[in-house]
């Protein structure tokens, strides 16, 4: 997926990549293994394939959304691996046209989100305390959660092309406005909560390319 995020040249002529370790505590330096054996931890998955989503696939997905007048459609949903099959990570494309109004803050019970802005600029309201909470219908991509129209203490955050935004599960967030047509790619991590799982591989991308580690 890094190939889809970075199509330009790095300043030093090489490849610039950002990796996200969701649910992993990152230390300041590598720590030695507590026990060098076994090589594979009991109950963990070591056979899941990687999925590559090309820039062309993202653009085609965006065009199909525009034709259908849709603003948020998942591209794919895959298993995260590790010690459980009950956690997934999904990729969606999100479009925010200028002048679009959004009434509700969203609060996801068990899903964290990462936004990467591909084009455009806009403002989101983040955090605060929702004063008119209500449960919302279950979302295929985001599972169970709540919503509200007022958040005391929410802060305005502007994001533009090239910016990334990480929103933890349980944090209120609302797209406030677009200064221009804004095009984002969202990666939503479904954690192990009460949310029902979406079908693995749903959306327009099904195993575009696989790379499996063998040991």
Per-residue pLDDT, 16? 41
Contact (CB, 8 A) for 89 and 197: no
Render the chain in DSSP notation, one character per residue: -HHHH--SPPTTSS-------TT----SS----S----SS-TT-B--PPP----HHHHHHHHHHHHHHT-SEEEEEEEE--BT-SS-EEEEEEEEE-TT-----EEEESSEEEEEEEEE-EEEEEE-SEESS-EE-PPBTTTBSEEEES-EET-EEEEEETT-EEEE-TT--EEEEEESS-EEEEEEEEE-SSSPPPPPTT-SS-S-SS------
Q: Are strands 164-167 and 129-130 parallel, antiparallel or unpaired?
A: unpaired
Structure tokens at 175: 């797209």
**Max CA pair span of the chain:** 58
Per-residue pLDDT, 191? 67
Per-residue pLDDT, 143? 83
Over residues 88-137, the pLDDT tens digits come to: 888 999 999 998 888 999 999 989 999 999 999 999 999 999 999 999 98
pTM for the whole thing? 0.75
Which residues lie across from 148 on neighbouring strands? 105
Per-residue pLDDT, 65? 94
Tokens 């008119």: give the residue: 132
Structure tokens at 71: 């603003």
Contact (CB, 8 A) for 207 and 51: yes
Give mean pLDDT, residues 164-174: 96
Per-residue pLDDT, 100? 85
């Amino acid at each position: 997926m890094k190939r889809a995020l970075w199509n330009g040249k790095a300043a030093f002529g090489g490849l610039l990549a950002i990796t996200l370790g969701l649910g992993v505590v990152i230390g300041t330096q590598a720590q030695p293994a507590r026990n060098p054996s076994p090589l594979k931890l009991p109950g963990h998955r070591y056979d899941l394939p990687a999925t590559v989503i090309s820039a062309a696939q993202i653009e085609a997905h965006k065009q199909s959304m525009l034709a259908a007048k849709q603003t948020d459609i998942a591209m794919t949903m895959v298993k995260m691996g590790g010690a459980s099959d009950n956690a997934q990570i999904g990729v969606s494309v999100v479009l925010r046209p200028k002048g679009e109004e959004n009434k509700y803050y969203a609060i996801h019970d068990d899903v964290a989100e990462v936004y990467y802005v591909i084009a455009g600029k806009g403002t989101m309201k983040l955090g605060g305390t929702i004063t008119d909470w209500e449960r919302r219908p279950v979302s295929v991509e985001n599972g169970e959660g709540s919503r509200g129209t007022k958040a005391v203490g929410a802060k305005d955050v502007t994001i533009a092309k090239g910016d990334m935004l990480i929103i933890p599960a349980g944090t209120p967030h609302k797209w406030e406005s677009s200064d221009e047509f804004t095009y984002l790619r969202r990666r939503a991590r479904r954690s192990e909560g009460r949310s029902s799982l979406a079908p693995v591989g749903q959306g327009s991308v099904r195993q575009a390319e696989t790379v499996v580690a063998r040991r």
